[in-house]
C-alpha cells in the first residue's frame, strides 16, 4: 500500500521534501511513500491503493472545492488522513450521533474539508510568513505521552479545535503551552468511514530549523509523528526491520582516472582535509578516503538515516569482500572493460567514459534517484569527461 504526500502548488516547499523523507524512514519497508500532485489527486484513481493521505503545511489556501471534495470523499469512504497546520470544528452535539450529511452551515472556505459527523477542517495559510498576522510563531507543545517541545512553529492566527475535546471518537494528542489543543485524532469507524489525525502546529517542519531546539526535542517530534501514524491505522515496522534498513557505507569506484576527476569536480581533496561533507536538498554525505575502506565507520541516525558515508576508492583499490560480499566490484569493472573494448569503435574517442565506468555501490542504500536528483553538487558538469 502507498502513503501519498500531497505536493500541490499550495504546499509550503520547505515542508515537502523533509516530510517525505521522514515518513519514508519511519514507514519503510511496510509502506511506499510517494508524492501526489494536484492533477493526479483530482483526476487519477489513487484512493484504492492509498493507506494514508498526508497534507503538509500550506503556503496558500487551495482554490476551488475540487481538492477538498476529493480528500473529504477519501475519508468518508474509509481512508486515513494526516494533516498539518489545520484546525477543525464540529456541532455542539456528539459527532457520532450526527449523520455525515448534517449541515453545519458555511465552512468558511470552499477548500475546507467536510469529514464524517460534520467535522469541518480548515487550512491555515503561511503565505505572509514573518508578519504578526498570517505568519508563524514559535510555541511550546506537550504531547499526550509526556515531553515538551519548546520550539514548534505554528501559524498565526493559531488554528483551533472547537467542540472536539469531549467527543467519544476523539483523542487529544497534544496541547499548546497555554492548554489549548494542538493535535487530535478522530475515528469515524462507527459511521462506516475512516480516520483523521490533525495538527495545528507545523510538526512537518524539523525542529532543527527553528531557534534553539532542545537536544531531545527532535526525537520527541518524531515520536509524535509515530503516534499520529498509529492513530491513522498504519502498522509501523518492527525494530528488526528498522535495523536492517540502516544504510551501509557506499563505495565510489571507477576506472582510472574517472574517480579522481569526479572528486576534483566536487572539490574533494584528501590532502587538505581527511573527509569532505557534501550537502544537498535531501541528504548529507561524508566522503572518505581509500584508507577508510576497511574501517568501521559510524552508522547513520536510525530515524533520519543521515549522514550517509561514501568511500572514494582510487588507484584501483576495491572494497574488501567482507564489506561487499554480494557484489564483486573488481569483476564488474573487468567485464565492463572487456565489453566496451568489443563494442567500441577504435577510431571514435568522443566518449572516453562509457556507461557504468563510474559506480557507487552499497549493500544497503536509500533512494538512489533522490541521491542523484537532489544533489546540487552532482550536476552534469561534475560528470563531464572534459
Specify the pairing of strand 50-55 against strand 2-6. Answer: parallel
Please give the grid coordinates belonging to residue 242: 528498522
Say what the pLDDT of residue 151 is. 82
* pLDDT band of 365, cuts 50, 70, 90: confident
Same domain, 31 and 174: yes
Q: Are residues 294 and 192 in the same domain?
A: no
The pLDDT of residue 63 is above 80: no
Cβ proximity of 173 and 183 under 8 Å: yes
- Phi and psi, residue 202, nearest 5°: -90, 70
Structural domain boundaries, residue 222 = 2-240
The pLDDT-based confidence of 40 (bands split at 50, 70, 90) is very high
CA–CA gap between residue 105 and residue 10 (Å, rounded): 25
Instruction: Give the helix, strand, coil percentages of the chain, each rounded to 5.
Output: 25, 25, 50
Region of poorest pLDDT, from 117-121, 207-211, 271-275, 283-287? 207-211
What percent of the chain is modeled with pLDDT above 70?
79
Are residues 179 and 199 both part of a single domain?
Answer: yes
Single out the residue in 221, 240, 259 at which a domain terminates: 240
Q: Does 118 lie in the same domain as 78?
A: yes
Q: How far apart are CA 166 and CA 147, in angstroms?
A: 23
* Judgement on whether residues 166 and 197 belong to the same structural domain of the protein: yes
pLDDT the model gives residue 311: 93
- Could you give the CA distance from residue 175 to residue 148 in angstroms, rounded to a whole number? 10
**DSSP reduced 3-state for 230:** helix
**263 has pLDDT over 80:** yes
pLDDT tens for each residue of 123-139: 987 654 443 345 788 88
Average pLDDT estimate for 369-383: 52
Q: Are 86 and 108 in contact (CB under 8 A)?
A: no
Contacts of 343 (CB under 8 A, 6+ apart): none
Residues 156 and 10 grouped into a single domain = yes
Whether residue 311 sits in one domain with residue 225:
no
The overall average pLDDT reported for the chain is 81
Q: Provide the pLDDT for residue 208.
A: 47
**Using a CB cutoff of 8 Å and minimum separation of 24, what contacts does 125-132 make?**
125/58, 125/59, 125/60, 125/61, 125/155, 126/12, 126/57, 126/58, 126/59, 126/85, 126/155, 127/59, 127/60, 129/59, 132/156
pLDDT at 103: 31
User: Is it the case that residue 116 has pLDDT exceeding 70?
Assistant: yes
Residue 154 in contact with residue 118, Cβ under 8 Å?
no
Q: How confident is the model at residue 378 (pLDDT cuts 50, 70, 90)?
A: low
Check whether 156 has a pLDDT greater than 50.
yes
Residues 84 and 231 in one domain: yes
Instruction: Please give the full DSSP string across 262-276, using - where no structure is assigned.
Output: HHHHTT--TTT-S-E
- If asked whether residues 253 and 343 sit together in one domain, one would say yes
Residues 180 and 281 occupy one common structural domain: no
Domain boundary residue, one of 215, 240, 265: 240
Q: Is residue 144 located within the same domain as residue 124?
A: yes
Sign of CA dihedral 367, 26, 123, 182: negative
Higher pLDDT pick, 101 / 1: 1
Is the pLDDT assigned to residue 8 strictly greater than 80? yes
Co-location of 67 and 179 in the same domain: yes
**What's the average model confidence in pLDDT over 368-380?**
54
Question: The C-alpha cell of 323 is what?
Answer: 564489506
Of 217, 240, 263, which marks where a domain is finished? 240
How confident is residue 39, by pLDDT bands cut at 50, 70 and 90?
very high
Q: In this model, does residue 299 exceed pLDDT 70?
A: yes
CATH number of the structural domain spanning residue 66: 3.40.50
What does 123-155 look like in DSSP terms, one character per residue?
E-B-TTTTSSSSSEEEEEEEETTS-EEEEEEEE
| 95 confidence band (pLDDT: 50, 70, 90) | very low
pLDDT value for 239: 63
C-alpha cell, 234: 498504519
pLDDT computed for residue 346 by the predictor: 65
Averaged pLDDT, 326-330: 84
Q: Return the C-alpha cell found at 155.
A: 501559524
Q: What is the mean pLDDT of residues 30-53?
A: 94
Amino acid at each position: 500500500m502507498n502513503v501519498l504526500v500531497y505536493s500541490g502548488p499550495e504546499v509550503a516547499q520547505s515542508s515537502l521534501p523533509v516530510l517525505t523523507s521522514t515518513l519514508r524512514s519511519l514507514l519503510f519497508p511496510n509502506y511506499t511513500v510517494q508524492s501526489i500532485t494536484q492533477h493526479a489527486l483530482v483526476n487519477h484513481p489513487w484512493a484504492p491503493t492509498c493507506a494514508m493521505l498526508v497534507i503538509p503545511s500550506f503556503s496558500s489556501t487551495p482554490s476551488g472545492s475540487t481538492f477538498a471534495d476529493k480528500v473529504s470523499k477519501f475519508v468518508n469512504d474509509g481512508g486515513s488522513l494526516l494533516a498539518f497546520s489545520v484546525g477543525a470544528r464540529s456541532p455542539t452535539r456528539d459527532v457520532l450521533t450526527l449523520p455525515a450529511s448534517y449541515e453545519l452551515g458555511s465552512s468558511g472556505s470552499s477548500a475546507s474539508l467536510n469529514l464524517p459527523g460534520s467535522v469541518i477542517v480548515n487550512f491555515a495559510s503561511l503565505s505572509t510568513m514573518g508578519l504578526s498576522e498570517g505568519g508563524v510563531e514559535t510555541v511550546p507543545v506537550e504531547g499526550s505521552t509526556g515531553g515538551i517541545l519548546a520550539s514548534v512553529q505554528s501559524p498565526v492566527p493559531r488554528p483551533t479545535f472547537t467542540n472536539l475535546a469531549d467527543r467519544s471518537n476523539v483523542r487529544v494528542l497534544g496541547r499548546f503551552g497555554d492548554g489549548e489543543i494542538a493535535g487530535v485524532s478522530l475515528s469515524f469507524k462507527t459511521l462506516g468511514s475512516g480516520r483523521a489525525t490533525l495538527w495545528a502546529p507545523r510538526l512537518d517542519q524539523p525542529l532543527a530549523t527553528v531557534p534553539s531546539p532542545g537536544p531531545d526535542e527532535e526525537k520527541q517530534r518524531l515520536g509524535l509523528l509515530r503516534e499520529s501514524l498509529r492513530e491513522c491505522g498504519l502498522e509501523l515496522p518492527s525494530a528488526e526491520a528498522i535495523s536492517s534498513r540502516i544504510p551501509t557505507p557506499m563505495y565510489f569506484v571507477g576506472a582510472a582516472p574517472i574517480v579522481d576527476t569526479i572528486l576534483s569536480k566536487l572539490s574533494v581533496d584528501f590532502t587538505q582535509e581527511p573527509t569532505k561533507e557534501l550537502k544537498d536538498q535531501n541528504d548529507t554525505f561524508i566522503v572518505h578516503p581509500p584508507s577508510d575502506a576497511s574501517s568501521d565507520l559510524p552508522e547513520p541516525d536510525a530515524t533520519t538515516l543521515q549522514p550517509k558515508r561514501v568511500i572514494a576508492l582510487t588507484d584501483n583499490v576495491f572494497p574488501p569482500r567482507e564489506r561487499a560480499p554480494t557484489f564483486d566490484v573488481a569483476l564488474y569493472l573487468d567485464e565492463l572493460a572487456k565489453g566496451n573494448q568489443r563494442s567500441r569503435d577504435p577510431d571514435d574517442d568522443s566518449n572516453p567514459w562509457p556507461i557504468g565506468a563510474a559506480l557507487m555501490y552499497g549493500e544497503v542504500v536509500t533512494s538512489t534517484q533522490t541521491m542523484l536528483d537532489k544533489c546540487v553538487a552532482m550536476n552534469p558538469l561534475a560528470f563531464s569527461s572534459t
